[in-house]
Amino acid sequence: MRVGITSRIDVDTALNVVKEIVSYLNSRGIEVVVDERILKSTSSTLPASDLSKSEMDLLIVVGGDGTLLHTLQRLKDVPPVLTVRVARYGFLMEVEPHEFKYYFEKLLLGEYHVAKKMRLYGKLDDRSLPPVLNEYTILSAEGKVIKIDVERNGEEVLTFLGDGIIIAPTTGSTGYSLSAGGPIIDEDLDAIVITPINPMQLYVRPIVFSSESRIVVRVRGRPYSACLFVDGQLKIPVKPESVLEVFKGDFVRFIRFKRNFYEKILRRLEVL
């Protein structure tokens, strides 16, 4: 087994967790590939490589949701992913640092399941976009409302004035979309949800589509009056009359040991 590992690099706790995991994996005779970003940001002497050019059987991500999303956008071929939470929330993270050895032993014994999470592919005019696990978000760039038209499979769905729109797959339904008033999509469903942001028309509401849908969003307005955000990692100015096409992409495989989707949601809503 060849295991890659990356982490957030702005928190010493995460980097210390990486060292502990690498030491443990080495003791089990497992080959480890450490993200070169870790080496560049610390005085660590761990052997490091460019993960985007490395072959891996498993990828371990230490940090929070932002670390995971950033890592996924860097990789062309994504191996199964095991996440370790070193963040306040980390909704997409699976195990705590102190649990890692226990659950990794279960992994070696085959006592786990694989959760396949759909990503969306996107295209802004003629520009192909990185895939997203959480969302594509269009926002007004000037604090003024913008006009947005939405089509599904060539059929007009809605037109509204507002601050923007979120297009998310199932996983993203519990992120920014949820905060903007979107619905929670059960993790066993593959779907696409569009969530208008602060629409002026009170009848405009989020809509859930089949994952096989092809969504087209047109932005009306003044030059560069809006921006597109790709999983919160990339910001792109949007020209007037630009067209964003969004459709079903690939699946990321997550190593899971727990079945606690709704427990995480309750924690996200600060009920627990």
Q: What residues act catalytically?
A: 65
Task: Identify the burial level of 8 via C-beta atoms within 10 angstroms of its C-beta, where 0-12 means exposed, 13-18 middle and 19 or more buried.
Answer: buried
For residues 191 and 152, the answer to whether their CB atoms sit within 8 Å is no
Amino acid letter for position 91: F
- What is the spatial order of strands in the sheet that 136-140 belongs to? 207-210, 191-197, 164-169, 136-140, 226-230, 234-238
Q: Which tokens sit at 132? A: 């997203």
d(CA 115, CA 126): 32
Amino acid letter for position 270: E
d(CA 57, CA 61): 13
Least Cα distance to 90 among 191, 5, 14 occurs for 14
d(CA 98, CA 129): 37
Left if phi > 0, otherwise alpha if psi is -120 to 50, otherwise beta: which for 31?
beta
d(CA 169, CA 211): 8
What contacts 12, CB < 8 A, 6 or more positions away? none
